[in-house]
Amino acid sequence: MLIQKIKNNEAGILLYGLTPPKENLTDEETATIAAKQIARLEGQNIDGIVLYDLQDESSRTNEERPFEFIKTTPPETYYETYLKKHFKAVIYKAVGKYDEPEFCEFLRHQQEDFICVFVGASSKSQEVKLRLDEAYALKAKFAPNITLGGICIPERHASKLDEHLKVAHKSEKGCEFFITQAVYNLENAKKFIDDYAKLEGKKCPIIFTFTPCGSAKTLLFMKWLGINIPPNFEERLNASENILQTSLNLCLEIFNFLYKYGLAKGISVGANVESVSNRKVEIEASITLLKQIQEIIAKTNTAYHWIGAGV
């Protein structure tokens, strides 16, 4: 059970990230999308899905957004209506979009088995109705028993060197696990693990996000989202005859290292696989990536079991 794995600080938690359908679709169109997602993910032996709560991040950068921002169905509504019978879910909530009465109403409706990640503003200049610390306080008052997660951004750690401290602060506010932005920079993620492992106190699972890249436009969008792609990796992608396969290989290399490195450092590493593109070929590639990450987890756990048993 996903909640138990989180509370036990288990390594190898495996999730799949989904963006809810656009809110301007008909019920029939939304149901069709849900049916495709269910068919694609059932039988994949994942611990759960992640449903994102998109917010307009245009204030974060002056660069033009490669794809138009369109509001999506609230993740908790989409989950309750279409997916709850099939998967356990982690529901993202971009707290700045909601005023206090709206957010309190949302919290009051949640059961003890609800898992949620509070997401703060995408930039300091973004106007918000509710701040992250205020959301934590409201959660403690109105929904103290739900399982709460937080966002971790290794890219931010590279420049400010304090992401491990932010994670510790969020843990004090009630966060029991963390999901990162998509990772293509291994050094940033490794440095974060190093510094987080040095902190005293209880540790939480760190679930790194991985997303395939199947085109130059997807690469541009990933960079717009703030995903840090090192120049040497970007060169490998652009020079590749098969950019999608190259990106899959990179993601697997990074996860393979981080999972084993986390075990050695005493940090429980997991994976959240997603596709930032709605192209069928990239979505299918994300399922391939999911399966291959699952194989890495299984093989590594078997090897560690044998070592631990003294075989």
pLDDT of residue 57: 57
Please report, for the domain that includes residue 70, its CATH number: 3.20.20.220
Contact 251/282 with Cβ under 8 angstroms?
A: no
Contact 293/257 with Cβ under 8 angstroms?
A: no
Alpha carbon distance 38, 34 (integer Å): 6
pLDDT of residue 64: 62
pLDDT, tens digit, for every residue of 105-120?
999 999 999 999 999 9
Alpha carbon distance 13, 1 (integer Å): 10
* Stretch among 75-79, 115-119, 290-294, 307-311 having the lowest mean pLDDT: 307-311
- For the cut 60, the answer to whether the pLDDT of residue 308 exceeds it is no
C-alpha distances in angstroms, 211 versus 17, 18, 218, 309?
9, 11, 10, 35
What is the value of pTM for the model shown?
Answer: 0.93
* Stretch 98-108: mean pLDDT: 96
pLDDT of residue 286: 98
* Stretch 247-261: mean pLDDT: 97
Position 170: which residue type? K
pLDDT, tens digit, for every residue of 235-246?
999 899 999 999
- Structural domain of 222: 1-309
Count of residues for the chain? Answer: 311
Tokens linked to 128? 């918000």
Alpha carbon distance 19, 72 (integer Å): 8
pLDDT of residue 111: 93
Q: pLDDT exceeding 70 applies to what percent of the chain?
A: 92
Angle at 296 between CA 207 and CA 52, to 5 degrees: 30
- For the cut 90, the answer to whether the pLDDT of residue 179 exceeds it is yes
**What percent of the chain is helix, strand and coil (3-state, nearest 5)?**
50, 15, 35
pLDDT of residue 309: 45
- For the cut 70, the answer to whether the pLDDT of residue 58 exceeds it is no
* Stretch among 23-32, 122-131, 206-215, 291-300 having the lowest mean pLDDT: 122-131
Alpha carbon distance 152, 154 (integer Å): 6
Question: Which single residue is written with the structure tokens 């929904």?
Answer: 143
pLDDT, tens digit, for every residue of 80-94?
999 999 999 999 999
Contact 155/188 with Cβ under 8 angstroms?
A: yes
Tokens linked to 276? 């930032």
Helix (H, G, I), strand (E, B) or coil at 229: coil
Question: Which single residue is written with the structure tokens 């401290």?
Answer: 165
CA 289 to chain CA centroid, Å, is: 15
Contact 183/152 with Cβ under 8 angstroms?
A: no
Alpha carbon distance 311, 86 (integer Å): 39
C-alpha distances in angstroms, 182 versus 38, 146, 247, 296?
23, 25, 12, 18
Contact 3/14 with Cβ under 8 angstroms?
A: no
Number of domains in the chain: 1
Tokens linked to 56? 């307009």
Q: pLDDT exceeding 90 applies to what percent of the chain?
A: 81
Cβ neighbours for 98, distance < 8 A, ≥ 6 positions apart: 106, 129, 130
Strand partners, 150: 178
pLDDT of residue 157: 62
Band of residue 66 on the pLDDT scale cut at 50, 70, 90: low
Sort 10 into a burial class: Cβ within 10 Å, 0-12 / 13-18 / 19+. Answer: middle
Question: Which single residue is written with the structure tokens 């989202």?
Answer: 225
- For the cut 90, the answer to whether the pLDDT of residue 26 exceeds it is yes
pLDDT of residue 160: 74
Alpha carbon distance 255, 268 (integer Å): 12
